[in-house]
Amino acid sequence: MNASLNLRQLARYPLIPVIVLMAIGFELATGSFVGSQNLLGIATDSATLAIVAVPSALLVISGYLDLSVGSTYALGAVAAGWLASEHGGSLLTCVLLSLLAGLAVGAVNGFLCCVVGLSPFIVTLGTLTAVRGLAQQFAPLPLTSFGDSFAWLGGAKIAGLPSPVVIAIVVVLVAGAILALTPVGRHIYAIGVSREAAYLSGVRVRTVPFTLFLATGASAALAGAIKASVLGAVQSGTAGSGFELAVLTAVLVGGVALTGGSGTLFGVVLGVAFLGILQNGLTLVGVPTFWQQVAQGLALVVAAGLAFLAPRLEALAAVRPTAPRRAAADPEPATT
């Protein structure tokens, strides 16, 4: 790999040097930031964000948006927690009920946005409020005492890794394979670039984003169930509050264009890592929670700057160095 290629990769993924500098800074401030236990803790805390950010990124690449993932997260957590605590449901039935709740929300969003043609911003903003109210109506009081079976979802170890991390890795790999190795991946980009052109090319411009809405809803509900399992409790009014902002920040910071048509899952994973490192590092150095929220908001603003600068830096890095001037290469004339 030559130097120009490295510069092009750094220009394409400007978060890489930012993450490295953040890690160095937090390590110098705390002395324990890069320890294996802390890094594993960051991965575990960031797993639920990655599980939702990946399908959300595909949805944004296709030109759509889902702002209801925070409330869907709460509904999925409440559905699974209610079945586990009130009726002693097994792990499988709890997860299935959570996924069904998420699929239902995704189906409503997908139908209104992809079939009816309403604005995704307005529709999902409306379901953000409606689904939160539904979750609170379903379980107005906190749910606890889920039992050992449900606790496995968030507390088990698989091949030495926490189960949420393993689930997040599977989600990333499956989505990456779909995006890179199947025609659906090309169709997602094509719809995001131009829906009309994609339609004329035979792409199913309604089915593909509708399926992505289903995947986003299901992943948000699953993430809520995982977090409820980790915490051993869930409260419908606060579960997943602000989660949609974290997901959107990870997607945009990761380089996915809000207008659709461009972005990579590797960039989204970097965006998730960036937020996880930022939150963990600020917590270790004792920054209050409200300043962490300020930092997360500023990160979203920085994402806009990176989205503006990254294509220009990549184009600049792609410029090959000019050939040496002939006069400089020619030998000096012989002196008489």
Q: Which residue has the higher pLDDT, 73 or 140?
A: 73
* Better pLDDT: 309 or 121: 121
Q: What is the pLDDT of residue 312?
A: 67
Per-residue model confidence as pLDDT tens digits over 193-247: 999 999 999 899 999 999 999 999 999 999 999 999 999 999 988 898 889 989 9
Provide the pLDDT for residue 335: 41
Q: What percent of the chain has pLDDT over 70?
A: 87
Cα–Cα distance for residue pair 296/284, rounded to 1 Å: 16
pLDDT range class, residue 131, cuts 50, 70, 90: very high
Least confident range from 173-177, 228-232, 306-310: namely 306-310
**Residue 307 pLDDT exceeds 50:** yes
Q: What is the pLDDT of residue 170?
A: 96
pLDDT score, position 147: 81
Fold of 34-239: ABC transporter involved in vitamin B12 uptake, BtuC (1.10.3470)
Task: State pLDDT tens for residues 139-170.
Answer: 888 888 888 888 889 888 898 899 999 999 99
The answer, as to whether pTM is greater than 0.75, is: yes
Q: What is the pLDDT of residue 93?
A: 94
Q: pLDDT averaged over the chain?
A: 86
Tell which wins on pLDDT, 331 or 115: 115
